[in-house]
């Protein structure tokens, strides 16, 4: 495999990789010789593809005229695979009923460099047309080098879909037309592609894509095929059923936890309760005396029990009394963590407020949050004859390959990842969080060649996540004597990529100062759905609301005036207000709050209608959401993503928090981590505002506005300004 890879890609040195890394400044052209004239990245085919109807990396057309689209992203309930397939089929002019969607295997040729384009678009960097192929080619090389096949950051559709799938479909269509011209003996200009056929209108001759596929595969992949305009779309922009739903309804979809292999053993594991703690002692006898238990495996920071079945393994684990160290942080609790964040902010004083202005100050906090995917962490590993096979659901199978290789002591090419559907991800299965795969490999070493499936209990899963960080933010805003916002200052604890972008308001404020302070870290932290926007959306949109009320202004009007230079934000804000009948009196005992947040290339404004139950509990009755995602590829699925984001964000706003006691996480299972249930879920109305801009993300942008919209409504309803999540009335 390694030699074949070298033959396909040539020698890819670290120097070339570093040279390619400065792509935004033109370093890609200088760092890799000839990349200015780089080929279409999609010319590279999987091994053994010759004669199988492969036209580009992701397209295979069989003789029966079926088009198979191989999507280099994972399915974790977001339905992006269908939208990606639609973008490709649109440019290919394929008959949608003849298109089959599959997840691409975890092979280097499917390394996913197009996500780079998504982040460049989001940052406002417009890639010149003459640099596109060079950028795509270089990004592919880098992704292959580091092993990147990631699904996250709402990049699937706006990255791979917008820049890769469309290109793949258009390239394949050009190849099919060229093949048709050769077979019919007519100029290519006289041919058209439609509904999986190449047609010569003048003579009435036609051929299916399947009949032309092998000949088309011998044609060169064009560097710059013609892409459709939105006015030419026939498929994209229409609602289509998700390709993954039938198998789920029929119970045929396979998740990592469903994997069953011949002669398989099962493992349960317990890690040191305090992060960084180490195992000091354990008596294996109580577990080994139980029926079905095969072995007790000791790891530096954990103990695992391997048995004939998972129930037996977990019962054996429950019988043990392992002793762990507390890594020197056994005395830390949530109050201490809050104090450490406050102390960190004390070191970064704000500048003096403008003279003669009215000053409003506030401090906000959000807690650690768990991902609580419905499928807990799990992985099945088989080690045989120098080969490691892993069956698991990950958000980046190529990255997890490297983790398994290191744990097994093997070369990366000796690892095969069989990626499964994910029972939820939300960032928990991104690169850097593959401890469960590492553990599974370490445990399986003792049982080769028998496969071992390691399953984390729900308690283990909740107490050992990569949590959304605890963040504290302090604000000071000043208003002039006419109630106009003249300055904005904030300090927050955070140091992750994207924090500063999310923390900076989009409002037109002459004097804006936003700074970050490196936070104290206690728990392991990572990306959580909508990442920094989930925290700073709450902070910024709550504080701007405070300022509006302090100025005696309507919150929508106050925001709208400050968004005069941001027409997209202003449009969704005003549309959400119209949807919610803002300005009219809500039903008795209810109030409305508003918030607008941009994240991942999309802008979402939400109005929440909130009341209190008879027992005084917060109840959200309705959420109106206006969304500018540039263009909704599959409106039905786009709406579902926003609706799901609202419920996800509302659960966090009302209930979720991870707290610490004696250095360890206190929450253990769902009774400690309540969610919005069907009985108290709000009615969610969603409308899309199409401004003709680039495609934005949808998996995450629906989350950030929920918490501030609800908190702002509660202020109107009760007079209490709630500045910490989860929202709790005094």
Output the six-digit token pair for 245.
Answer: 């739903």
Question: What percentage of residues in the chain have a pLDDT greater than 70?
Answer: 95
Domain shared by 202 and 278, yes or no: no
> What pLDDT band is residue 124 in, cutting at 50, 70 and 90?
confident
pLDDT of residue 245: 92
Residue 661 lies in a domain: yes
Domain shared by 170 and 274, yes or no: no
460 exposure class (CB count in 10 Å sphere: 0-12, 13-18, 19+): buried
Q: Would the pLDDT of 151 be above 50?
A: yes
> What pLDDT band is residue 32 in, cutting at 50, 70 and 90?
very low
Residue 507 lies in a domain: no
Peptide bond between residue 449 and the one before it cis (omega within 30 degrees of 0): yes
Residue-by-residue DSSP string for 222-273: PSSPPPPPGGG-SSTTS----TTHHHHHTT---BGGG---TT-EEEEEEE-S
- The overall pTM is greater than 0.85: yes
Residue 175 lies in a domain: yes
Domain shared by 444 and 559, yes or no: no
| Angle 487-493-497 from CA coordinates, rounded to 5° | 95
pLDDT of residue 24: 33
* Average of per-residue pLDDT across 88-115: 96
Average confidence score pLDDT of the chain: 92
Q: Strands across the sheet with 205-208, in order?
A: 191-194, 197-200, 205-208
pLDDT digits (tens, 9 = 90+) for 662-674: 999 999 999 999 9
Residue 353 lies in a domain: no
Among candidates 369, 159, 494, which has minimal Cα distance to 504?
494
> What pLDDT band is residue 15 in, cutting at 50, 70 and 90?
very low
> What pLDDT band is residue 354 in, cutting at 50, 70 and 90?
confident
Q: Would the pLDDT of 4 be above 80?
A: no
Domain shared by 166 and 315, yes or no: no
Residue 447 lies in a domain: yes
Output the six-digit token pair for 409.
Answer: 């002591």
In this structure, are strands 99-103 and 67-71 parallel, antiparallel, or unpaired? parallel
Residue 701 lies in a domain: yes
User: Which of 431, 455, 479 is the last residue before a domain boundary?
Assistant: 455
Domain shared by 225 and 280, yes or no: no
Question: What percentage of residues in the chain have a pLDDT greater than 90?
Answer: 87
CATH at residue 278: 3.30.365.10
Strand partners, 419: 392
C-alpha pair distances (Å), 389 with each of 382, 414, 436, 439, 721:
5, 8, 14, 14, 53
* Average of per-residue pLDDT across 676-697: 94
Domain shared by 173 and 267, yes or no: no
Among candidates 452, 299, 285, 291, which has minimal Cα distance to 380?
452
> What pLDDT band is residue 123 in, cutting at 50, 70 and 90?
confident
> No. of H helices and E strands in the chain?
21, 26
d(CA 56, CA 77): 27
Domain shared by 384 and 445, yes or no: yes
Q: Would the pLDDT of 501 be above 60?
A: yes
pLDDT of residue 125: 83
Domain shared by 174 and 300, yes or no: no
Domain shared by 74 and 220, yes or no: yes
pLDDT digits (tens, 9 = 90+) for 236-266: 999 999 999 999 999 999 999 999 999 999 9
pLDDT of residue 36: 59
d(CA 603, CA 619): 25
User: Which of 424, 455, 486 is the last residue before a domain boundary?
Assistant: 455
Taking only Cα atoms into account, the Rg of the chain, rounded to an integer number of angstroms, comes to 27
11 exposure class (CB count in 10 Å sphere: 0-12, 13-18, 19+): exposed
User: Which of 430, 455, 480 is the last residue before a domain boundary?
Assistant: 455
* Number of residues that make up the chain: 730
Output the six-digit token pair for 193.
Answer: 């592609």
Buried b (16+ CB within 10 A) or exposed e, 363-401: ebbbbbbbbbbebbbbbbbbbeeeebbbbbbbbbbbbbb
Domain shared by 667 and 542, yes or no: yes
In this structure, are strands 302-307 and 197-200 parallel, antiparallel, or unpaired? unpaired
Specify the DSSP element, H or E, that contains 557: helix 555-562
Q: Would the pLDDT of 20 be above 60?
A: no
Query: 3-class SS at 590?
Result: strand
Residue 584 lies in a domain: yes
**In this structure, is the dihedral angle defined by the CA atoms of residues 166, 171, 177 and 183, taken in order, positive or negative?**
negative
Query: 3-class SS at 355?
Result: coil
Q: Strands across the sheet with 99-103, in order?
A: 54-56, 59-61, 67-71, 99-103
Residues 6+ apart with CB under 8 A from 724: 364, 365, 366, 367
* Average of per-residue pLDDT across 432-441: 98
Domain shared by 270 and 403, yes or no: yes
**Domain of 310, in residue numbers:** 257-326+377-455
Residue 462 lies in a domain: no
Strand partners, 658: 368
| Least reliable range by pLDDT among 53-62, 383-392, 493-502, 682-691 | 493-502
> What pLDDT band is residue 127 in, cutting at 50, 70 and 90?
confident
Q: Would the pLDDT of 692 be above 90?
A: no
What secondary structure letter does DSSP report for 658? B
SS3 content of the chain, % helix, strand, coil (to 5): 35, 20, 40
Q: Would the pLDDT of 1 be above 50?
A: no
* Average of per-residue pLDDT across 82-103: 97
> What pLDDT band is residue 538 in, cutting at 50, 70 and 90?
very high
Domain shared by 282 and 411, yes or no: yes
> What pLDDT band is residue 19 in, cutting at 50, 70 and 90?
very low
pLDDT of residue 349: 85
d(CA 86, CA 410): 39
Q: How many domains does the chain have?
A: 3
């Amino acid at each position: 495999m390694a030699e074949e890879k070298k033959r396909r890609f040539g020698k890819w040195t670290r120097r070339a990789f570093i040279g390619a890394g400065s792509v935004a400044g033109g370093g890609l052209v200088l760092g890799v010789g000839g990349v200015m004239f780089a080929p279409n990245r999609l010319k590279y085919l999987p091994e053994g593809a010759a004669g199988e109807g492969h036209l580009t990396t992701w397209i295979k057309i069989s003789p029966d005229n079926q088009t198979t689209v191989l999507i280099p992203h994972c399915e974790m309930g977001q339905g992006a695979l269908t939208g990606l397939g639609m973008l490709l089929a649109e440019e290919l002019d394929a008959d949608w009923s003849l298109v089959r969607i599959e997840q691409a295997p975890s092979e280097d040729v499917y390394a996913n460099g197009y996500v780079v384009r998504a982040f460049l678009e989001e940052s406002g960097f417009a890639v010149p047309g003459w640099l596109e192929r060079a950028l795509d080619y270089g990004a592919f090389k880098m992704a292959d080098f580091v092993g990147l096949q990631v699904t996250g950051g709402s990049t699937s559709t706006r990255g791979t879909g917008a820049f890769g799938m469309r290109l793949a479909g258009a390239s394949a269509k050009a190849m099919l037309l060229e093949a048709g011209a050769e077979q019919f003996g007519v100029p290519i200009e006289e041919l058209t592609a439609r509904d999986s056929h190449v047609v010569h209108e003048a003579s009435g001759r036609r051929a299916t894509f399947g009949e032309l596929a092998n000949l088309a595969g011998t044609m060169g992949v064009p560097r710059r095929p013609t892409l459709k305009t939105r006015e030419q779309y026939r498929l994209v922009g229409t609602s289509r059923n998700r390709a993954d739903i039938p198998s789920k309804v029929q119970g045929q979809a396979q998740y990592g936890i469903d994997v069953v292999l011949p002669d398989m053993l099962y493992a349960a594991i317990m890690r040191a309760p305090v992060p960084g703690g180490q195992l000091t002692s354990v008596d294996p006898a109580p577990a080994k005396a139980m029926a079905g238990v095969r072995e007790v495996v000791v790891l530096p920071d954990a103990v695992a029990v391997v048995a004939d079945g998972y129930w037996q393994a977990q019962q054996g684990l429950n019988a043990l009394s392992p002793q762990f160290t507390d890594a020197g942080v056994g005395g830390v609790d949530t109050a201490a963590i809050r104090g450490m964040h406050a102390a960190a902010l004390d070191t970064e004083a704000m500048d003096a407020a403008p003279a003669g202005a009215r000053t409003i100050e506030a401090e906000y906090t959000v807690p650690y949050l768990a991902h609580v995917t419905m499928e807990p962490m799990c992985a099945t590993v088989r080690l045989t004859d120098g080969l490691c096979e892993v069956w698991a659901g990950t958000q980046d199978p190529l990255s997890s390959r490297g983790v398994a290789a290191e744990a097994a002591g093997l070369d990366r090419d000796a690892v095969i990842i069989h990626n499964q559907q994910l029972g939820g991800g939300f960032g928990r299965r991104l690169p850097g969080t593959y401890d469960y795969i590492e553990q599974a490999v370490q445990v399986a070493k003792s049982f080769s060649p028998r496969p071992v499936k390691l399953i984390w209990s729900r308690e283990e899963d909740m107490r050992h996540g990569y949590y959304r960080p605890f963040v504290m933010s302090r604000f000071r805003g000043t208003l002039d004597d006419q109630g106009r916002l003249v300055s904005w200052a904030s300090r927050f604890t955070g140091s992750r990529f994207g924090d500063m972008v999310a923390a900076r308001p989009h409002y037109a404020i002459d004097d804006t100062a936003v700074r970050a302070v490196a936070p104290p870290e206690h728990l392991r932290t990572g990306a959580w759905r909508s990442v920094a926007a989930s925290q700073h959306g709450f902070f910024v949109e709550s504080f701007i609301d405070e300022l509006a009320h302090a100025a005696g202004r309507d919150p929508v009007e106050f925001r709208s005036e400050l968004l005069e230079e941001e027409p997209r934000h202003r449009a969704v804000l005003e549309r959400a207000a119209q949807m919610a009948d803002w300005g009219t009196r809500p039903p008795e005992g209810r109030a409305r709050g508003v918030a607008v947040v941009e994240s991942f290339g999309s802008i979402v404004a939400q109005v929440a209608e909130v009341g209190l139950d008879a027992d005084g509990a917060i109840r959200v009755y309705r959420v109106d959401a206006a969304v500018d995602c540039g263009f909704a590829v599959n409106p039905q699925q786009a709406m579902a993503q926003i609706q799901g984001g609202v419920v996800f964000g509302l659960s966090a706003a009302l209930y979720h928090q991870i707290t610490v006691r004696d250095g360890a996480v206190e929450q253990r299972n769902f009774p400690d981590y309540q969610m919005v249930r069907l009985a108290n879920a709000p009615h969610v109305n969603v409308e899309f505002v199409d401004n003709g801009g680039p495609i934005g993300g949808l998996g995450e942008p629906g989350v950030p506005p929920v918490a501030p919209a609800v908190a702002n409504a509660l202020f109107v309803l009760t007079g209490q300004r709630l500045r910490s999540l989860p929202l709790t009335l005094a």
